[in-house]
């Protein structure tokens, strides 16, 4: 069994980081947005920093729960989330704007829904 109290702050950090990225997502209409202007490049850099934070938080959750809890949410590619962190952190100059665009537009909204569900599940377990 794992300490649920350690997970709440991590889930809140995940939620915050995802919301920060998604707040600017409507203005990003293509991968070129990131590459054709200084504000776009700055958005790419800030998004990558937040994706690193997301990956680190997921790695911490996986460690705290002895690699068991994330299995309860198979709709999310947790290995991919953690792997994205590693790619950005260790191969920064190889980052592909199309991949980041895809993550922002197609994967983060679903991840946010999963995080919400995880928080609800934790609060229900605390009461029960």
Catalytic residue positions, numbered: 85, 90
CB atoms within 10 A of CB 96: 11
20-23 contacts, C-beta under 8 A, 24 or more apart = 20/50, 21/47, 21/50, 21/51, 21/104, 21/108, 22/104, 22/108, 22/109, 22/112
> What is d(CA 41, CA 36) in angstroms, rounded to the nearest whole number?
8
């Amino acid at each position: 069994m794992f300490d649920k109290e350690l997970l709440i702050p991590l889930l809140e950090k995940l939620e915050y980081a995802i919301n920060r990225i998604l707040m600017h997502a409507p203005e990003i209409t293509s991968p070129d947005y990131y590459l054709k202007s200084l504000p776009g490049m700055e958005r790419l850099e800030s998004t990558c920093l937040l994706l690193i934070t997301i990956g680190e938080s997921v790695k911490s959750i996986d460690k705290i729960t002895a690699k068991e809890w994330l299995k309860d949410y198979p709709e999310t590619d947790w290995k991919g989330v953690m792997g994205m962190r590693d790619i950005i952190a260790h191969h920064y100059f190889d980052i592909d704007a199309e991949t980041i665009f895809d993550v922002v537009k197609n994967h983060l909204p679903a991840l946010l829904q999963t995080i919400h569900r995880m928080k609800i599940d934790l609060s229900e377990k605390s009461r029960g």
